[in-house]
Structure 1
Amino acid sequence: MTGRVKSFFTEIPSYLKITAACLIMALGMSLFLIPNKIAAGGLSGIGIVLFHLFNFPVGVSVLILNIPLFLLSWRLLGTSFGVKTLFATVVFSVFVDVTAFLTPMTDDLLLSVLFGGALVGLGLGLIFRENATTGGTDLAAKIIHRIVPFISIGQVLLIIDALVVVLAALVFRQYDLALYASVAIFITARIIDVVVIGINYSKAAYIISLQSGRISSRIMDELSRGVTELKGRGMFTGMDRPVLLCVLRRRDVPLMKKIVLEEDPEAFIFISDVREVLGEGFSFEQKR
């Protein structure tokens, strides 16, 4: 019993973060998307359509539509969707209707898409960081993927969002709203990536050179970055060549290039983005 009580108290900060994130999402909906008929996919998009057709509260719609999805998920997926997801779904639905009295901040569609999509993306990103979702199309996608496994969850989400956008355009008979909703979906997705992954992603440099010893020593001394030597073979020449792998901060890349070219002007370098780095020298920086 003591362990359960302790676990409950350790989870309180997480639930507070989810609550704040749900409020941010609700503000994005109530201040920008709902009043301007921007149905940017998902169950909330269906809720927006029902609101403008029948004046039915969006939050109630989202909650009612989620009930069969939760029941199906419980049966097909077990309890994998989690208590946090159930909590986030209920809190978000309540906040959407509680904030419905607020006066819309603008009737400009472009501004509504930009700020509404950004707030929804920020809220969802914070919720995802707490290992939860707001139910809806996430659960629907998992259920459909379980039944039709050759369709990926990402494809299902894209199809559902597209159908909701088309439905809204047909119902409102304003086809430009579908274009605005598509922009909102894109912005939401980008903001989610920024919140969950971060914007300060690093670079991975692969260096092929016969002067690997001097290059690696200078990188470790001057950049204070670790270097790993991999064994490679040039298939054209059949010769063994060392391949250096080094993960760098973006601002370190110019100096790294300078070091390599000074030691070996004929070195081969290619650099790729690294979206998440965990380990000594990077974990704190990525979370900061």
Structure 2
Amino acid sequence: MKNFCMVVLGSVIVGLGYNFFLIPNKILSSGLSGIAIMLGLITPINTGVLNFVLNLPLLIVAIFKLGNKFVFYTITSVVVLSVSLYVIPVIQLSTEPILSSLFGGVLTGLGIGIIFKASGSSGGFDIIAMLLAKNKDFPLGSILSALNGIVVIISGFVFNWDAALNTLVAIYTTGKVIDTVHTNHIKLTLMIITNKGDEMKSKLLQSVYRGITIMDGEGAYSGESRKVLLTVITRYQLTDVKKLIKEVDENAFVNITETTEVMGSFHRN
């Protein structure tokens, strides 16, 4: 229920970003939603209807290639976003294109980041990005920014190149905010020094689906023997792991560093 509510909230936030900042200033968003915005501006068909129709083929692909939960949340997001675009009035909150690009990009990135965090997507190019990131440590926002170059080019030909540059600003901002909110691709290395090594190992293996390397250590000052546990986790798991460590040994020394790259066996899902 929590993830479902996050998907709904994120989709509504994206709809607000579109109808309050991007659409009134003829600025496109990323992916199929951006194409839907463009078609909605040059045809009498509502953007929400176009967004739903354009996403149908990729949703069908997602059913076969991705998990059932992901597909359910993605369908929910596409439906809620399409309804939001249909129901929320188009209001021009700012007549300044750059400000509209930035604020529209921030709201869009925030909404999509929340949806990603709930293990869903807003459809369109997001599905392609999730497929690419499924087996590799690619930042989703960067993938989306790369895929959306075509939207910028289309914007320049259909409207003007000022609109294309504003679209580029919006897409770049969206990608950066997504990577700030959705941090699953970030890996952390934990070095845990504790005198309750066996208990800590058992608790971690029971609660966290990660491999652990154990080494013998000795305090240079005290001369006491301790266990050194080394493991790599995702940033999502950090809060739970820190709580778990405190429950086992409040006096454990823990060094947490961000990991640039992981090679070998590492469960990414």
| 1:127 aligned residue (91, 112, 115) | 115
Hey, what does 1:178 align to over in structure 2? 164
Task: Choose 1 or 2 for highest CA Rg.
Answer: 1
Paired with 2:173 and 2:245, the residues of 1 have a C-alpha distance of: 27
TM-score w.r.t. length of structure 2: 0.64
Q: Deviations over 1:155-194 (max 9, x none)?
A: 874453101111111111x112222222212211222222
Pairwise CA RMSD? 3.9
TM-score w.r.t. length of structure 1: 0.60
Paired with 1:136 and 1:92, the residues of 2 have a C-alpha distance of: 12
Paired with 2:26 and 2:36, the residues of 1 have a C-alpha distance of: 10
Alpha carbons 1:45, 1:165 under 8 Å: kept: no
1:162-201 matched pairs, under 5 angstroms: 162-172=149-159, 174-197=160-183
Q: Deviations over 1:83-112 (max 9, x none)?
A: 11111111111101111x242101111110
| 2:26 aligned residue (28, 37, 42) | 37
Shift of 1:37: 1.3
Change (3 A) 1:156 1:275: closer
Of all paired residues, the percent bearing the same amino acid is 32
Paired with 1:160 and 1:70, the residues of 2 have a C-alpha distance of: 18
- Letter aligned with residue 54 of structure 2: L
| 1:25 aligned residue (8, 14, 24) | 14
Paired with 1:18 and 1:109, the residues of 2 have a C-alpha distance of: 28
Q: Which moved more, 1:86-95 or 1:47-56?
A: 47-56
Alpha carbons 1:40, 1:165 under 8 Å: kept: no
Runs of 5+ consecutive residues of structure 2 not aligned to the other structure: 192-218, 247-269
Change (3 A) 1:191 1:109: same
Runs of 5+ consecutive residues of structure 1 not aligned to the other structure: 1-10, 206-211, 218-225, 231-244, 246-273
1:112-123 matched pairs, under 5 angstroms: 112-123=100-111
| 2:3 aligned residue (6, 14, 23) | 14
Change (3 A) 1:191 1:227: farther
Greater than 6 Å deviation, 4+ residue runs:
152-156, 201-205
